Amino acid sequence: MKKEIKIFIIDGKIEMDFEGFEGKTCQKEEDLFRLLLGKMGVKTEIKHSDNKEEEQHAQPELNANRQ
Amino acid sequence: MSKIVILDSALAAPHIMSDALARLGTMDPATAKWAESVDVLPLIKEAAMNAVKSMKDKGVIVDSTIEDFRGHRVSDVDGRSFLATLKTDNFLSGMALIMEKDGTIKFAADDYGRVSEIRRLQEMYKNAFLQECIKMFLEIMGYKFTVTASPVKNSGNRDAMQGVYIQAEK
């Protein structure tokens, strides 16, 4: 399955939308991105696709750790 | 008063996002260890200079010195040398980019009477730097991507500039 990230940059902010990631692979990719960008001095705002939100509802322990 | 100073509106200092590191460490310890150990200072400098090039491509003048309001030209501030300086036809005194030892990118200029032009250049540069960081990590993580200009979002900011849209897949 194709994994896709849509990224929008404006006014010094980043929005990232992850699609096509299954289960915890989405969280893993998001965390890796945030970790690397943070080390570069960049703050991120992550926005999830509808599918990801449904997966997240099924795994509330992941949501509980979100900022 | 006319004086070249380090401006408030810098990019953030490099930092470790501990929540992301902790989760990644649980799911994929090897990747977490690699991400934590990556030396980002050369990457920050590369992204910073790529962003300068990108601004040059958009018509911004790239130089190595800036001037204060009285025309006094400098190539450093408090001993901190410039990565580059950015100027426009309407702002020839210019704004400098400084990379601190910890990797923080800061701006320096004499902002007397030039606040709006400096803010515009800062926002342009921040967007360009973010874009270069994203592109760098997409490549490292094995994504193919396209970069296109996106319409201005209705943010209520009358000076809002055109954004950038990156679509990546693997």
Contact B131, B51 (CB under 8 A): yes
Model pLDDT, residue B149: 84
Candidate from B13, B36, B165 with C-beta closest to A8: B165
User: Is the pTM above the cut of 0.95?
Assistant: no
Model pLDDT, residue A49: 56
- The answer, yes or no, to whether residue A54 has pLDDT greater than 60, is no
Cα dihedral B133, B94, B107, B123, rounded to 10, equals -50
B141 class by beta-carbon count within 10 Å (0-12 exposed, 13-18 middle, 19+ buried): middle
Q: State the average pLDDT over residues A24-50.
A: 82
Q: State the average pLDDT over residues A4-32.
A: 88
The enclosing H or E element of A58 equals helix A50-58
Model pLDDT, residue A50: 55
Q: State the average pLDDT over residues A42-60.
A: 52
| Low-confidence residues of chain B: pLDDT under 70 | 1-2, 151-161
Q: Most A CBs within 10 Å: which of B23, B34, B83, B123, as the mutation test of the A interface? A: B23
Residues from chain B contacting residue A12 (CB–CB below 8 Å):
123, 126-127, 130
Model pLDDT, residue B153: 54
B38 C-beta neighbours (distance < 10 Å), count: 15
